[in-house]
Amino acid sequence: MTKMSVGIVLFSDDFEESDRDGVARALDQDKAVNLCVLLASGTVPDFISGTARDKFQDKVFEIPNIDFISGFHLAKEKHDSAMCQEIKVICKRGKEVDFLCQVFFTPAIQWNVVSIGERKVPQNETLETITEKVKDYFSNLKATDEIKFLQSSLIPDDVFFHGFSTRTGGLSTIPGMKSLNMIYTTAKRDPRLLIQENRRRLAIKAKFDVETLYVAKAVHGNTVYEIGMDPPEDGYDGVTSNKNDVTCAAPGADCVIILFADPVKRAFAAVHSGWKGTVLKIPAIAVQTLQDRFGSQAKDMLVVMGPSICKNCFDFGKDNVKQFENINPNCVLNKDREGNPTVDLKLAIRTLLQEEGVLAEHIDDTTCSLCTVEHPDQLFSYRRDGRPFGNQIGFIGLRS
């Protein structure tokens, strides 16, 4: 059984010398502690520092001269770096800190608050007020680099805005998710508010309204959701619309993100097409959806593929490559080499699009389709980094 990695956060300001024994008892652990972070608005009191170091020696890290929210965020980052799976927070204001934990921690982290001598929560402090304070805090944080996104000249800039985000310019700090992670999930450690802030910053840079951003759920199926209809209960991998007040988006972290634009009918879509979705022919279904819902014609559609795993990096099990050979025999490469063959996912998608009547010259699978595996400084990749990993998105909408 894998040993649980445990961390401790202690709000030093909460305690007086008379609390020494209570703090010592709270620090007692039946599990090995990887990291103990001591927070203080001024200097960490000697009795707190001494008690912690007696127990955990060089695993103690002090963060003095810092406020309540930014201190807790830095403590979380330290624990994220140590990949602590369980965090104990010791304080004297349990309810306030409980609210803070609800905002900062996802279900990927087990946490509990140990309050010594419960202090009443100020009447104006609720989960909602703490949430607003954290949102303000994130909005004022400086990123270490600039937001950049990729674009194709195939999509007319006077009709549509579009792009594919890269990994730079955000606030995520966990190595596989640093820094512009676009997707929140309960299995990862980036809190929902941080993802919302990353999206807000991308929206400002790309000039779209983050409040009307619709992102596909990426369930590896072949359903395309039209904004304004009832969302499919089982999720969806594509989003489409012809409204000028919404933005369609789809995520990726090796899977192909596909953007569709029809300048004649002013319709558009964003699709997540991994190997499963491609085999299920979601690129073709997206074309059919634009035709059925908006009267688009395949010959008018402009299609751009975003960053994804390339044909040199996408090794695929020998027993399953027949699925791609059925689409196009040329999709499967290196069949005679030792180990697994590789698959050209973009060629499979191009084949499906052209079978639906999309013109070859209306498909751009080169301008924006950097290999996610081969560009670690620019793009997220599950194949390269494993878990946890971040996600970029492709986005598209109509200009007003």
CA pair distance 160, 359, nearest whole angstrom: 19
pLDDT at 2 over 60: no
pTM: 0.95
Q: Give the pLDDT band of residue 392 (cuts 50, 70, 90).
A: very high
pLDDT digits (tens, 9 = 90+) for 73-109: 999 999 999 999 999 999 998 888 999 999 999 999 9
CA pair distance 110, 101, nearest whole angstrom: 10
Identical fold at 6-140 and 149-398? no
pLDDT at 1 over 50: no
Burial of 25 (0-12, 13-18, 19+ CB in 10 A): exposed
How much is the pLDDT for 121?
Answer: 62
- The domain ranges of the chain are 6-140, 149-398
Q: Is 156 helix (H, G, I), strand (E, B) or coil?
A: coil
Phi, psi of 196 (to 5 degrees): -60, -40
Q: Closest Cα to residue 370, out of 246, 256, 233?
A: 256
Q: Closest Cα to residue 292, out of 240, 237, 231?
A: 240
Q: Which residue has the tokens 């624990």?
A: 79
Q: Are 64 and 43 in contact (CB under 8 A)?
A: yes
Query: Looking at 110-119, 191-200, 201-210, which range is the least confident one?
Result: 110-119
pLDDT digits (tens, 9 = 90+) for 22-49: 999 999 877 889 999 999 999 999 999 9
pLDDT digits (tens, 9 = 90+) for 129-168: 999 999 999 999 999 899 999 999 999 999 999 999 999 9
Q: 6-140 architecture in CATH?
A: 3-Layer(aba) Sandwich (3.40)
What would the CATH number be for the domain defined by 149-398?
3.60.140.10
Q: Give the pLDDT band of residue 118 (cuts 50, 70, 90).
A: low
